[in-house]
Homo-oligomer: A and B are copies of this chain.
Amino acid sequence: MPDDIAEMLHELIVATRILANEKVLDAFGHVSVRHPHDPKRYFIPRHRAPELAEVSDLVELTLDSEPVRPTEFRLYSEKVIHGEIYKARPDVNAVVHHHAHTVLPFAISGRPIVPVFHLAAVVGPVPFWDQRDEFGDTNMLVTKPAEGASLARALGPNWMVLMRRHGATVAATGIRELIFRTVFGSDNCKLLSQAMAMGHVDSLSPGEIKLTAAHQQRPPSTNRAWDYWVRQIEKAGLMPAKAASRSASKKNAVAAKRAAPKSAKKSAAKARSKKRR
C-alpha cells in the first residue's frame, strides 16, 4: 500500500477515535474517506463499534457500496449513506453518520439548527430529511441505494443533514475539516438548545457565516483543533498504533538497531539500505 494511503487510513482511524472520545459516536455510527487516487472508491470500517475499529478493519468499497475485493467481513447496513453522497458530491471526500445526543433533540423536535457561535460557522445551513416521507414505515435504517440517494438529495449543496428520529450525516472536503465541522456542529446544538431555553436566540448573519467559515476551514485552525483532540485520545488511551508503512519501517529499523542482537541488526541494516535507494 502506498505510504500516502497508509497515512490517510491511519488518520481515518484517529478521526473515528476522536469522535468516539468526544461522545459524537457510541456503539453506532461510522466515518469514511474517499480514495485519494480513485474517486470511484472509498474506505470504511467493517461492521463494528467505531471506537473499536482498527486500520485492519477497513474495507474498500465502490460508490455502489460493493466491496472492491471479496471480503469475509460483515459490512455496515447503512454504507449507502456514504456511497450515495460520494456519487452526488464530487467535492466531498469524507463523511460521518452519527447519533450524537447533542444533535438528536433537533432531529426529534424538528427545530432548525442555526450557527450561533463563530466556530460553528462551518456548519452552514442544515436541511431535514425524513425517511418516512418517501419510504413510509421502514426499519429506519438507510440500507437501500434509493434511500441513500434520497438522503444525498436532501443534503444538496450543504455540509450537514438532520435525519428525523434518527441522527445526522456530515460531509467535508477532508478528514480534519470533517472532524472540526462535526465536533463544533455538536457543540453548536448543545449551546443553541440552551439559548432556546432562555427564550431568545441570536444567530450568525449570512455575511458572518461566509467570512468566518472561510477562516475557520483553513489549516491553522483545523490543525490546532486536531492536535488538541489527538491529545485527548492519547490521554484516554485511544490513540491507534501506527501500522508500519514503508518509511515507518525505517524508523523502526533504527530503533531495532539499538535494542536487537547482532543478527537482527544485519537484516535491519539491509532494510535500511533498501530504503535509501
Contacts and interface: CB of A to CB of B under 8 A. Distances in A.
Interface of A: 26-28, 47-49, 51-52, 74, 99, 101, 104-111, 116-119, 121, 132, 136-141, 164-167, 187, 190-205, 207-208, 210-212, 214-215, 220, 224-225, 227-229, 231, 235-237
A191 to B, nearest CB: 5
Contacts of A199: 109, 111
Nearest to A76: B224
Count the copies: 4
B212 A139 contact: yes
Contacts of A139: 118, 208, 211-212, 214-215
B208 A197 contact: no
Contacts of A132: 205, 208
Contacts of A166: 117-118
Given A101-B187, A108-B194, A235-B236, 11 more contacts: A27-B225, A104-B117, A104-B191, A105-B191, A105-B195, A117-B165, A118-B139, A118-B140, A136-B207, A137-B205, A165-B202
